[in-house]
A = this chain, B = another copy of it.
Amino acid sequence: MDLTNPRRITRRFAVGCRVWAIPEGYIPGASHGPEPAMTSHETACILNAGPQDAHVEIAVFFKDRDPAGPYRATVPARRTLHLRFNELAEPEPIPRDTDYATLIESDVPIVVQHTRLDSRQAENALMTTMAHPVG
């Protein structure tokens, strides 16, 4: 066994799925503590354990308007990317203090975990969950 060996992952199994859903999304407008580590943020942690780069597209859904996107990112082969939603700029920034949800699609299998750090009050709060694998 040695999962750091790239040939082994290729042959034995695909790690993850191509589409993931995260119904919760909310970027607080206010923060406490030193930036950027303690800035309130939502993150999609993406693992691409495979031998090919992952081209990722994100659609953002809202309560009362059409979806935004697609936002695009690349996760190189055998790398992880912890993508902060508050840093997405193109085609438009995600509005603050607004409920949203995301659908994340990749051209190769990935694994996605969702994290929020909330520092609206003096002490930070954390939450996380695996995203929901779709089809």
Which A residues are within 8 Å of any B CB, using their own CB?
Answer: 1-4, 12-16, 19, 21-26, 33, 37-38, 43, 45-47, 49, 55, 57-59, 61-64, 66-70, 78-82, 97, 99-101, 103, 105, 107, 111-116, 118, 120-135
CA distance A49 to B61 in the complex (A): 8
Known: A4-B69, A15-B21, A78-B66. A126 touches B118 (CB 8 A): yes
A125 & B126 in contact (Cβ 8 Å cutoff) = yes
Known: A21-B16, A21-B111, A126-B116. A61 touches B45 (CB 8 A): no
Task: Tell me if A's interface is mostly helix, strand, loop or mixed.
Answer: strand
Q: How many chain copies? A: 4
A89 to chain B, nearest CB (A): 17
The residue of chain B having its C-beta at the shortest distance from the C-beta of A106 within the complex is B1
